[in-house]
């Protein structure tokens, strides 16, 4: 089953009661500058999604220009994924999911690091004696040289997968990578986080470098008595899979 199908299934799963569920919060940071809430520009987070309108995108891009960033985000133009997020908060027996996506352009020389973070508290399921956190990220690149791209990670409370790289193979091509860690136990309520840090080659306004990106964090629990052993095998296989993909 493809990752896209898994995400769609989790988002469509029957929800459990929403008591305690939180709203998605997104922040942006230019280089080592201040962390700024996207609500400042008109971003709207709910328990199941995050929306950034074209007006909010314009305000965000004006801020990025003023902060000296090389990056701008796409609005609802042709072929672009508008910046936003989705979740199945408060989760369910099949898992808890948080996803972040959008399209970013490198339009010139400037501060080359841009971090985007998405957080949502109040997940109530799943729960169990053990489980895992899986993080995956994609980049649909255009005009980017091989070896540049973005870093990504996902987090469960104060535990994160660690940053992993999604790098362009060059030209107009996509790339993907993933990371997974074990959780002992999976306790509720919990918070999920997705983070992406862009490191694209400087482009130009007339010929920007493009990264159509996504980051997805999924928490699953193992309920069987032998769950810890099964989890260890699963995490080991996930590690081998990631190593082979990077090789």
212 within domain boundaries = yes
Phi/psi of residue 54, each to 5°?
-60, -35
117 within domain boundaries = yes
Sign of CA dihedral 69, 75, 80, 84: positive
pTM of the model: 0.86
pLDDT at 224: 63
Residues 42 and 59 sit within 8 Å (Cβ to Cβ): yes
Mean pLDDT by 10 residues, the chain (247 residues): 52 47 93 98 97 97 98 91 97 97 98 98 96 98 97 98 98 96 96 98 97 98 61 43 42
pLDDT at 245: 45
Range of 158's domain? 21-246
57 within domain boundaries = yes
14 within domain boundaries = no
9 within domain boundaries = no
143 within domain boundaries = yes
pLDDT at 243: 40
200 within domain boundaries = yes
5 within domain boundaries = no
pLDDT at 21: 62
Residues 27 and 44 sit within 8 Å (Cβ to Cβ): no
Domain total of the chain? 1
pLDDT at 104: 98
Q: What is the rounded CA–CA span in Å between residue 94 and residue 244?
A: 27
């Amino acid at each position: 089953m493809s990752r896209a199908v898994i995400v769609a299934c989790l988002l469509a799963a029957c929800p459990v009661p929403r008591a305690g569920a939180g709203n998605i919060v997104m922040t942006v940071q230019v280089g080592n500058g201040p962390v700024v809430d996207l609500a400042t520009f008109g971003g709207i987070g709910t328990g199941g999604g995050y929306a950034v309108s074209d007006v909010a995108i314009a305000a965000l891009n004006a801020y990025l220009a003023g902060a000296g960033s090389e990056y701008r985000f796409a609005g609802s133009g042709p072929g672009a994924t508008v910046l936003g997020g989705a979740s199945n908060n408060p989760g369910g027996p099949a898992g808890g999911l948080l996803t972040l996506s959008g399209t970013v352009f490198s339009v010139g020389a400037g501060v080359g690091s841009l971090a985007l973070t998405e957080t949502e508290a109040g997940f109530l399921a799943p729960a169990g004696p053990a489980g895992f956190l899986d993080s995956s990220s994609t980049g649909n690149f255009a005009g980017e040289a091989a070896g540049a791209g973005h870093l990504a990670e996902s987090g469960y409370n104060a535990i994160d997968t660690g940053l992993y790289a999604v790098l362009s193979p060059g030209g107009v091509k996509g790339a993907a990578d993933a990371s997974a860690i074990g959780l002992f136990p999976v306790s509720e309520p919990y918070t999920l986080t997705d983070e992406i840090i862009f490191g694209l080659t400087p482009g130009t306004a007339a010929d920007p470098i493009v990264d159509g990106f996504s980051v997805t964090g999924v928490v699953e629990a193992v309920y069987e008595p032998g769950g810890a052993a099964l989890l260890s095998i699963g995490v080991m296989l996930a590690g081998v899979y990631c190593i082979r993909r990077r090789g």
